């Protein structure tokens, strides 16, 4: 168990702490300092003595008996950054509600338009319970988001000048890289601001947790689209339904939505290599299925071109700025290859392509995600 | 009032009719022979005497006291043809239920895969109330559809050899052109088969009726997608939401969905000419709005390229087989032009493009359309 | 065609009118003064000459070329009254949006808590496009409603003291009776305020129109509940599903929802008399059906006790203040009688009773009703 | 770790096992015999050496390398019993699909109408992948259910005479008690039939698992009803919304739905004692809230009468067959008490009562539950 840097270490320049006002009498409910859980839930037979020291363990989350910050003097700022994700407004609402009612904080800023918005005072909105009361039923984020340059110095200046001492940033890996830059900037200035990054990813690609927020909602929406593709491909002879969903480097949405649909015949994800051509290739498999069942329903994660093992497709020769090969759009590739295969083999087949994109992320969170975010 | 060709004229080679078994005692409910309605509901002031003879009028629909066909000897065949439309299964179900229970017909075929399917006996499925009992809650068509060549001779052969004397064909304009060919073929053979074309169009582009079936459902689905675009474009600074919906030659879906959404700022339809460039052009208008409101939500019917008045866009030089100019995809055009305009004018704007396509037609019918189809 | 009292007659004490600012150049779109439509759309054969004078006709609605009120001096007040109905917020939004943008009115009050709320100034909220921009997606009414005493004098006082000259009241028959009292009160004072009653009824019981707003939404919600009852009664042997829906004096919701469900076996409405007991009675019919089909799905309008023809049920002896007999709750009656019949006849049957009440009216309007209200 | 009785012990009268055909090459995927997990995920600090022997542990589920039953000779029977629960059809479908495709079983019976149905051969339906292919999108159970007497002898007779050697029973605690009776009956006859009870409870009241199937769906539906109550009680002055949901002895549905709604002000559950009357009583609390906020939204689990601490309510004097006191309906109690309190204190308040009952369980499973059941 690694010793994690703790707020106590230095925030107040001393060991001053405050009784946590959260939950009335917290003595019954607070998390015991030092509680942890082990990385793996299953323990193999024979391994009857188990030492946490020899395993990765995680400190348990939850309110402690003492807090380091004085709620009366706390100024909170919140930004959302990167792509939308169902539940962003729930997280914002809960940060406001919990800070206000559980901790007694009275100064909470929601800053419009992500990191960039911090630089202009006009974007600093004061949030109150009244203002966020109904936002949990809405998709998107009431404080807007952006994909933008990260100006660590400017952000530090504005947080400091507005007296912020707790800063919440809700976003993806880019957002957290920004947060690290900001931490460095603040450290170099010797300024103590509590930085809290809340991981947001529609793709559910965070190893440590079961689900990222918004994921269940996006599955539910994706399943609806897959159902349409299922109806379309079953309504024509040799109908092929092809649905492309988000997932540049992982296939969780594609896989879970395929499973929940239970109608999908083929699910392609970046993690699972496959061939397009030849006897064991995807195209052969699709048309074999058509011959027997008259239809085929395919779901593909957008990043699946990287899983194609035939030289032909990955060999575009194009490279991005970092020198990584640029892969073609797997949806376009499949559309083209399927049509060509049908033509070459003189098979009448009807391809119906659906690309829901934002439809699965711009929606309001379902009850599961509201509960999960709150 | 034009004299419309009537089933009585010749089906039985005589004036034999049968008492309509529909509705128990039909004498109270049947439509009076000769009832009609006028083309226009509103009558201008001053025009106080109105003569139906001087206006277009329509014969009233509904069961008559006598029917020409003998239910005991009636063999019905049903096909669905062309693109999907919510409610197809409701129409099929009602044809079966009404023929079976109201008229006592016991031989009803549903033929798989549209006109083409008629040619193979394996596609002729017998439909019964039990088989169609729950299909009204499903999208698509249980008997499949196709876009295919129309073989009038082969179809006539197979209808005759299966003893069909009532043939229902549910489809669009192509389907009805096929039906006309079939009528000519049957006429030339002197064969009497009642042909009934049931108009199906997701686009609502039938002048004589208020709504085509499935239209309300597609509006409801389109509004959901527009709502996503609305959330996306409101969640980024200078967010532009662009939603393309069906409508090759008409903008009813785009317009009604825009109205029902009440969030759409610009709705482009083929019927309403517009300019892309210049002071009064669309691009200028979009970016003027961004400057004031920070977002802009646009819905465009797929055929709207024909409404663009600037030479530049329509002048692709490409022509289809019939010599008509091939228009570019309006979605692609707008995406490209908006991005270029932003770049040229050095404006940071984020475009979110959504193309729901089949999502608005492959779904189950809503209660309005079930009622309407039934 | 009866001469209807017109705003022109007296509002300004003269014939002063204003060019209607609605729709830019209204000369192309306004409704021709004197346009009308006839009561009946269908004209019987033989009746080839038709004189509007001999029929009931209705003046056509729509903006006229001239308006009587000066938009710059117009002060509008809006109240909602009686039970909720999907679409109330859409109507409020459109009144605000249209008054603001089409007519240029800048003083629009939404008054909280119905007629009663008018009496306290704290309930007078100024509405602007910004405030009502997103309310059309919400159920209920943002200005609240009430069932309350009608104080015509007090209301007149407060409307006058706030300078209101256009008053919109959205509600049912009680609301309109109140409006008539107010009209009399204002007349007696010689005060000219334009009173506009917008009929609201979830029950669709307005003879002159096809649908009242909110009706389609309530049907859609009712169908969902009926579907649950359908599943429940099909999942047990001799399952009886019984769904009670709104409709004290009319059965439109029960009937339309039953039709849209297409699973309902029996629909009971106040308009259609029936017997409970005996050979031709409802109970016999239900259990006959169980014997053949193992399930029976019944929808009943809440006021259907009045349609029961057996003496036993209507003879409670209770009378209300006006001396009308108080009828028992038809849901309770049916539950009790069905159970007793099963017991007496030694039949094992399972009754599942569902009473959705507000569920079908407290929801957000669907796209059909948003379009209809707007 | 207790030694659990295992199929190996005796089924075949020997140690004969079969290679598990599940998953192609199972050697890579099967669960290691003897894997287990500990009861508690969190381990307290200081407790750095942890011995599974001193804790409750559970054997890990999953396919093993060897199976005891010969798939070619396996005959499976499935019944569903007790109340409906979203996902029943998914479980049935997966039992059929997995037995058929993963294990190669070709004789699978679905028996209609629960335990009672087993007694009549007409209720034994053969299930195939084709028959269950689309049932996962439907609520209810295609094989019906019942609440009935348990005839262990008759059931044993019929299972044996139909050659069943694997029997799945999906149901609640009563269903499992029946299964235990059946196990005893079979033991006494020396007959070996694998009995598998699949726990089904809409209430989520199974300690060992996070969620019972159908629970998330019922929460999602309950939240919709709570939203209606929220709209109703916010639309009238002093509006009180009261929603009663399932939960005779536990409040998981009430609590989770209240949390997911985030609009609920009071949630009453059997587990949490409360007073109705007096200064700290519920009624006082409700009306205090009305005075400040004008509305109050309450969710109550149906069994919450047992949590009322005032003598008055629980003292009905009635006892059931087992001598337990019969508690009054908490919905009725609250309706009556709230109205009386309002009257006594001369406060105008409007109570809107909603009792969704089967609405939250008779629906189709959402994507979460489909995934969970499958």
Per-residue pLDDT reduced to its tens digit, B204-260 = 888 777 789 999 999 999 999 999 999 999 999 999 999 999 999 999 999 999 999
Residue D263 pLDDT: 96
Contact assessment for residue B287 and residue B238, using Cβ atoms and an 8 Å cutoff:
no
pLDDT of residue A35: 61
Contacts of A353 in chain B (CB under 8 A): 357
With 0-12 / 13-18 / 19 or more C-beta atoms within 10 angstroms meaning exposed / middle / buried, residue D274 is middle
C364: chain B residues, CB-CB within 8 Å: none
pLDDT at D53: 53
Query: Considering C9, C25, C157, C203, which one is annotated as catalytic?
Result: C203
Tens-place pLDDT, residues D193-234: 999 999 999 988 887 777 899 999 999 999 999 999 999 999
**∠C278-C284-C287 over CA atoms, to 5°?**
165
Q: What is the mean pLDDT of residues C182-205?
A: 94
Q: Minimal Cα distance from B360: which residue of A?
A: A228
Q: Where are the alpha helices (DSSP H) in chain A?
A: 88-97, 114-117, 129-132, 152-161, 173-189, 215-234, 252-261, 282-293, 311-314, 330-344, 367-373
Which pLDDT score is estimated for B374? 86
Residue D66's pLDDT is what?
75
User: Which chain B residues touch C if contact means CB-CB below 8 Å?
Assistant: 32-38, 41-46, 48-53, 60, 90, 93, 136-137, 216, 219-220, 223, 227, 256-257, 259-262, 366-368, 370-371, 374
Instruction: Report chain A residues whose CB lies below 8 A from the CB of D223.
Output: 367, 370
A39 or C16, higher pLDDT: C16
Please state the rounded mean pLDDT for residues C143-161.
94
pLDDT at C305: 93
Q: What is the pLDDT of residue C193?
A: 95
What's the rounded mean pLDDT across residues C293-320? 86
B370: chain C residues, CB-CB within 8 Å: 223, 260-262
Buried/exposed code over D335-364 (b: 16+ C-beta within 10 A; e: otherwise): bebbeebbeeeeeebbbbbbbbbbbbbbbb
Q: Give residue ranges of A with CB < 8 Å to any B CB.
A: 84, 112-113, 117, 138-141, 144-147, 225, 227-229, 231-232, 234-237, 350, 352-359, 362-363
Is residue B258 a contact partner of residue B267, using CB atoms and an 8 Å limit?
yes
Task: Kindly list the partner chains of chain B, i.e. chains with 3 or more CB atom pairs below 8 Å.
Answer: A, C
| Integer Rg of chain D from CA | 25
- Let me know: does B125 contact B37? Beta carbons within 8 Å: no
Interchain contact, D113 vs C354, CB within 8 Å: no
Catalytic residue among A53, A187, A203, A315: A203
Length of chain D equals 374
Say which residue, A314 or D369, is predicted with more confidence: D369
C355 assigned to active site: no
D→C interface, C-beta within 8 Å: 84, 112-113, 117, 138-141, 144-147, 225, 227-229, 231-232, 234-237, 350, 352-359, 362-363
Please, what's the b/e burial string for B13-45 (b: 16 or more CB within 10 A of its CB; e: otherwise)? eeeebeebebeeebeeebeeeebbbbeeeebee
Give, to the nearest 10 degrees, the angle between helix A282-293 and helix A330-344. 60
Q: Which residues of D are catalytic?
A: 203
pLDDT of amino acid B176: 94
pLDDT at C126 over 50: yes
Position C319 scores a pLDDT of 75
Percent of chain C exceeding pLDDT 90 equals 71
pLDDT per residue, tens digit, chain A (374 aa), is 344 455 544 444 445 666 666 555 544 555 555 565 555 555 554 554 555 455 666 777 777 777 788 888 999 999 999 999 999 999 999 999 999 999 999 999 999 999 999 999 999 999 999 999 999 999 999 999 998 889 999 999 999 999 999 999 999 999 999 999 999 999 999 999 999 999 999 988 887 777 899 999 999 999 999 999 999 999 999 999 999 999 999 999 999 999 999 999 999 999 999 999 999 999 999 999 999 999 999 999 999 999 999 867 666 677 776 677 788 899 999 999 999 999 999 999 999 999 999 999 999 999 999 999 88
ipTM value, please give it. 0.89
Question: A236, B363: Cβ pair inside 8 Å?
Answer: no
Neighbours of chain C (3+ CB pairs under 8 A): B, D
Of A141, A146, A231, the CB nearest to B362: A231
Indicate yes or no: CB of B42 within 8 angstroms of CB of C53. no
- C140 and D232 in contact by Cβ < 8 A? yes
Which residues of chain B are modeled with pLDDT < 70? 1-57, 311, 313-316, 321-322
Distance to chain C for B78, nearest Cα, Å:
21
Write out pLDDT tens, residues C253-290. 999 999 999 999 999 999 999 999 999 999 999 999 99
* CA D332 vs CA A106, A248, D297: distances in Å: 41, 55, 16
C362 and D232 within 8 Å at the Cβ level: the answer is: yes
**Among A370, A331, A336, residue whose Cα is nearest residue A354:** A331
A47, closest residue in chain D (CA to CA): D52
Q: Quick check: D35 and A45 CB within 8 A?
A: yes
Which residue of B111, B362, B365 to mutate against A (max A Cβ within 10 Å)? Answer: B362
Highest mean pLDDT among A48-52, C60-64, C219-223: C219-223
Distance CA A212, CA B141 (A): 38
Could you report the per-residue pLDDT of C104-124, keeping only the tens digit for each? 999 999 999 999 999 999 999
Chain C contact set for B33 (CB, 8 A): 45
How many Cβ pairs closer than 8 A exist between chain C and D? 91
DSSP-derived secondary structure letter, D31: P
| Residues of chain A with C-beta less than 8 angstroms from the C-beta of D90 | 262
Q: State which residue of chain A sits closest to B147, comparing Cα positions.
A: A236
* A203, A246 contact by CB (below 8 A): yes
**CB D232 to CB C141 under 8 A?**
no
Give the closest of C146, C235, C362 to D231, CB-based. Answer: C362
A139 or D66: whose pLDDT is higher? A139
B interface residues, A as partner, C-beta within 8 Å: 84, 112-113, 117, 138-141, 144-147, 225, 227-229, 231-232, 234-237, 350, 352-359, 362-363
User: Residues A313-318: contacts with CB within 8 Å, 24+ apart?
Assistant: A313/A276
Confidence label for D34 from pLDDT (cuts 50, 70 and 90): low
Q: Could B140 and A234 be called an inter-chain contact, meaning their C-beta atoms sit closer than 8 Å?
A: yes
The per-residue pLDDT for range D121-140, each reduced to its tens digit, is: 999 999 999 999 999 999 99
Q: What is d(CA D201, CA D246) in angstroms, rounded to the nearest whole number? A: 11
Using CA atoms, how far apart are residues B335 and B353, in angstroms rounded to an integer? 8
Q: Which of D55, D44, D52 is closest to A43 using CA atoms?
A: D52
CB D370 within 8 A of CB D92: no
State pLDDT tens for residues B41-52.
555 545 545 555
- Closest CA of chain D from C184, distance in Å: 28
Q: Cβ of C371 and B44 within 8 Å?
A: no
Nearest-CA distance B209 → chain C (Å):
14
Cβ atoms of B371 and B92 within 8 Å: the answer is no
């Amino acid at each position: 168990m690694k010793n994690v840097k703790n707020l106590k270490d230095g925030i107040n320049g001393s060991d001053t702490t405050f009784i946590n006002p959260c939950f009335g009498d917290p003595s019954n409910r607070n998390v015991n300092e030092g509680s942890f859980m082990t990385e793996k839930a299953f323990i193999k037979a024979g391994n009857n003595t188990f030492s946490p020291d020899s395993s990765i363990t995680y400190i348990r989350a939850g309110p402690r008996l003492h807090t380091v910050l004085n709620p009366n003097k706390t100024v909170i700022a919140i930004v959302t950054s990167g792509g939308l994700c169902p539940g962003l407004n729930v997280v914002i609402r809960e940060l406001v509600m919990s800070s206000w009612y559980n901790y007694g904080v009275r100064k909470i800023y929601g800053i419009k338009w992500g990191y960039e918005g911090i630089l202009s005072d006009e974007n600093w909105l004061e949030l109150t319970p009244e203002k966020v009361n109904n936002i949990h039923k809405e998709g998107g984020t009431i404080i807007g988001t952006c994909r933008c340059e990260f100006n660590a110095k400017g952000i530090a200046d504005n947080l400091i000048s507005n007296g912020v001492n707790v800063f919440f940033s809700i976003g993806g890996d880019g957002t957290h890289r920004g947060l690290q830059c900001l931490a460095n900037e603040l450290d170099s200035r010797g300024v103590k601001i509590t930085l809290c990054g809340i991981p947001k990813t529609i793709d559910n690609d965070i190893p440590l947790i079961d689900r990222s927020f918004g994921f269940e909602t996006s599955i539910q929406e994706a399943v609806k689209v897959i159902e349409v593709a299922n109806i379309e491909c079953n309504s024509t002879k040799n109908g092929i339904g092809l649905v492309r969903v988000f997932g540049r480097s992982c296939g969780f949405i594609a896989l879970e939505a395929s499973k929940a649909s239970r109608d999908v015949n083929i699910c392609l994800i970046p993690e699972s290599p496959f061939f397009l051509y030849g006897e064991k290739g995807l195209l052969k498999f699709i048309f074999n299925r058509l011959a027997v069942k008259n239809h085929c329903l395919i779901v593909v994660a957008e990043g699946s071109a990287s899983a194609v093992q035939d030289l032909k497709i990955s060999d575009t020769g194009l490279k991005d700025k970092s020198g990584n090969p640029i892969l073609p759009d797997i949806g376009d590739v499949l559309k083209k290859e399927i049509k060509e295969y049908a033509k070459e083999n003189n098979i009448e087949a009807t391809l119906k392509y659906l690309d829901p994109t934002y439809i699965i992320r711009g929606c309001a969170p379902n009850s599961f995600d509201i509960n999960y975010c709150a």
